[in-house]
Amino acid sequence: MDLTDRLALVTGGTRGLGLAIAGRLCSLGCEVLVNYAHDDAGAEEALEALGAAGGKASLVRADVADPDQVRAMLDDIERDRGRLDIFVHNAGIHRPAPATAISREAYDRITALVVGPLVSGAGHLARLLPAGTGRVVAVSSTGARRAVPDYAALGSAKAALESLVRYLAVELAGRGITVNAVRAGKLDKDPGSAPSGPAARVAARTPAGRLTRPGDVADVVAMLCRAEAGWIHGETITVDGGLHLMT
């Protein structure tokens, strides 16, 4: 895969899955604008890690739950760079609670962060992304399609995100801009050690024999950004080692 000379923006890109995605795109020749909201020190550490691996990246600070900041961020990219080839929306937040005890404040914040950026930025992206090669990839989770304990707020927000992906895909397909989603399985946050407790049980039920790693998801995101993926529109690809086949 080669994405040389492409310009990508990854929301929530300074840690965890977002950083893995940014790193994978960098490794394929992309220049990556790494978005973050608040943690300046953590963002600088992420930038150093990307640079040490040979990646070309820079930081973009914006709280993408705020519609005005989303639009300002994209306006700045249009003014300074003139284009954006790839938009990966990964930002999200999880506030565990049963469905009967979700606070409206928490739900609104989660929805604003998970769904809001694509709603607020859709018009700008339609203008910024090049016809024929523009790519939008949203990161979802398997909690969007099945009930996970204490995951109702984020799971329902991710389900809304997947629905929005389909609508945007229809509207932008005529210009050759693809919009797709990647549905991540339960992530292994410490691949160097054996999982325990509930994570171990999930790993044991997974046909591929382990939990999903950030790199597994990053690889599929990168695949959807390729020219060869240009005929894939409005799909949500599940990346969970086959676990969804067992439930």
CATH label, 7-246, candidates 1.10.490.10, 1.20.120.160, 3.40.640.10, 3.40.50.720: 3.40.50.720
**Ranges 16-20, 73-77, 205-209: which has the least confidence:** 205-209
All residues at 6 or more sequence positions from 137 whose CB lies less than 8 Å from its CB, including other chains: 86, 87, 88, 89, 179, 180, 181, 182, 221, 224, 225
Task: Give the pLDDT confidence score for residue 1 in this predicted structure.
Answer: 64
Convert the pLDDT of each residue in 84-94 to its tens digit. Answer: 999 999 999 99
Convert the pLDDT of each residue in 95-149 to its tens digit. Answer: 989 999 999 999 999 999 999 999 999 999 999 999 999 999 999 999 889 888 8
Q: pTM, whole model, 2 decimals?
A: 0.95
Query: CA 50 to CA 153: how far, in whole Å?
Result: 32
Q: Which residues of 26-51 are buried (b: 16+ CB within 10 A; e: fewer)?
A: bbbebbbbbbbbeeeeebeebbeebe
Indicate which residues carry an active-site annotation: 151, 158
Task: Give the pLDDT confidence score for residue 195 in this predicted structure.
Answer: 86
Where along the chain do its domains lie?
A: 7-246
